[in-house]
Amino acid sequence: MPYLFTSESVSEGHPDKVADQISDALIDNFLAFDPNSKVACETLVTTGQVVLAGEVKSKAYLDVQEIARGVIRKIGYTKSEYMFEAHSCGVLSAIHEQSADINQGVDRTKKEEQGAGDQGMMFGYATNETEDYMPLALDLAHKLLQELAVLRRENKQIKYLRPDAKSQVTLEYDDNNKPVRIDAIVVSTQHDDFDTEAKMQKKINDDIINILVPRIKSKYKKYAKLFNDKIKYHINPTGKFVIGGPHGDTGLTGRKIIVDTYGGKGAHGGGAFSGKDPSKVDRSAAYATRHIAKNLVAAGVCDEVLVQVSYAIGVAEPMGVYVNTYGTAKVELSDGEIAKIVSGIFDMRPYFIEQRLKLRNPIYSETAAYGHMGRKPEVVNKEFASPDGKVIKKKVELFTWEKLDYVPKVKKAFGIK
């Protein structure tokens, strides 16, 4: 029986994402100056105020206030009328040293025996629904807001946009679990004040449907037919959206974990990513299971798959690896047998995950908005400056867990030609 499925996304200017981006900028700076840093930092943003808190074990000394302001400036909160502005907001730091009790469970004499930074279960998911092996509803929701941010920065076709925004896409699936129709698109975007609310509503509605949506449609040749005049649009459905960002709502690190992952598809272990160094398996193992899932689907083992791994704090070997192919497996093996082969291909001990995916590099700022999964792997040059004038330049590889580098190994292990 056909069914509807919905996913949402939020922009880089959403208060929770502002917090995530600040936390991950701190991670990047700590790792740039001390790759062995252990960091768990949280950020709270509200009207005119940023609060930084958390635990750190590092040799690096940072100007955390300036790092936070730099993130806020880059997002676009640069005007006093936003009531949250990069130069004038207060920044309070309550960051302190990491608990020695936790650290003794992670550090080992032999690096390969490094224990997991916490207990818990992590999930990775992949589907051949889109080119980047992500669920289509979430992919569309992300791209709507990424393109809206491009339009905001271009400031040509649409000149009234402010940084805060949300999107939501509802798809209809057929009996074969294939998307056949876009049922509804929701976009709420912060904007400058207008003369009248009626004028504002019409202008924003027309611009989203006639300027933004065609840009998105052009990116989806496979699904272009899903874009038609029967889509139900809800554009700024509450009306006026001038007050937004951290002035409109308090933002906290780690409150958008479904936006960060698969939009409600698959499963989630509950642990957030941003603000955590890779010794925290909440982050590193979630990336590793995505890497596994994507390579399994790309290799032709199945059309869709969920991979779970679980850990005990301070223990290197995972408690177990679970695989669910949702009945889409193309090999004559049970999901349990597939999981056993997967365990032989991918070493899921924390140290080996860090090494395989190059996670002790400053690569996290880019993950903190528009999803950690389904992104394009690329090599970039970064520069970091410390308060004492030291400058570090690094060439780093982003989104390594999105690479299809294990497809040949997976095919060989499963006898796929």
Tell me the per-residue pLDDT of 261-306, one tens digit each, with 9 for 90 and over. Answer: 999 999 999 999 999 999 999 999 999 999 999 999 999 999 999 9
Mean pLDDT of 151-169: 97
| Residue 241 marked as a ligand binder | yes
Instruction: Provide the 10 A C-beta neighbour count for residue 153.
Output: 10
Mean pLDDT across the chain: 95
| Residue 166 marked as a ligand binder | yes
| Residue 417 marked as a ligand binder | no
H helix intervals, 218-331? 245-248, 257-260, 281-299
b/e code 217-236 from CB counts within 10 Å (16+ = b): beebeebeebbeeebeeebb
- 117: pLDDT confidence band, cut at 50, 70 and 90? confident
Q: How far apart (Å, rounded) are the C-alpha atoms in residues 226 and 203?
A: 25
| Residue 42 marked as a ligand binder | yes
| Residue 409 marked as a ligand binder | no
Residue pLDDT, tens place only, 349-406: 999 999 999 999 999 999 999 999 999 999 999 999 999 999 999 999 999 999 999 9
Q: How far apart (Å, rounded) are the C-alpha atoms in residues 34 and 28?
A: 10
| Residue 16 marked as a ligand binder | yes
Q: What is the pLDDT of residue 99?
A: 64
Nearest C-alpha neighbor of 365 from the set 5, 1, 72: 72
| Residue 118 marked as a ligand binder | no
For residue 259, what are the CA distances in angstroms to 10, 182, 294? 7, 19, 18
Q: What is the pLDDT of residue 358?
A: 98
Contact 288, 350 (CB under 8 A): no
Nearest C-alpha neighbor of 297 from the set 406, 140, 371, 173: 406
Q: How far apart (Å, rounded) are the C-alpha atoms in residues 364 and 284?
A: 11
Residue with tokens 């679980």: 310
CATH topology of domain 3-10+136-245: GMP Synthetase; Chain A, domain 3 (3.30.300)
CATH topology of domain 15-109: GMP Synthetase; Chain A, domain 3 (3.30.300)
Conformational region of residue 300, where left means phi above 0, alpha means psi within -120 to 50, and beta covers everything else: left
Please name the amino acid found at residue 381: N
Please name the amino acid found at residue 280: K
Cα pseudo-dihedral 101, 103, 107, 109, rounded to 10: -50
| Residue 280 marked as a ligand binder | yes
Residue 130 corresponds to which tokens in the numbers above?
């889109």
| Residue 14 marked as a ligand binder | yes
H helix intervals, 300-362? 335-345, 350-357
| Residue 330 marked as a ligand binder | no
| Residue 164 marked as a ligand binder | yes
| Residue 283 marked as a ligand binder | no
Q: What is the pLDDT of residue 115?
A: 87
How is the chain split into domains, by residue range?
A: 3-10+136-245, 15-109, 120-128+278-414
CATH topology of domain 120-128+278-414: GMP Synthetase; Chain A, domain 3 (3.30.300)
- 332: pLDDT confidence band, cut at 50, 70 and 90? very high
- 195: pLDDT confidence band, cut at 50, 70 and 90? confident
- 46: pLDDT confidence band, cut at 50, 70 and 90? very high
b/e code 286-320 from CB counts within 10 Å (16+ = b): bbbbbbbbbbbbbbbbbbbbbbbbbbeebebebee
What is the sign of the dihedral through the CA atoms of 279, 280, 283 and 289? Answer: positive
Residue 108 above 60 pLDDT? Answer: no
Domains 3-10+136-245 and 15-109 share a fold: yes
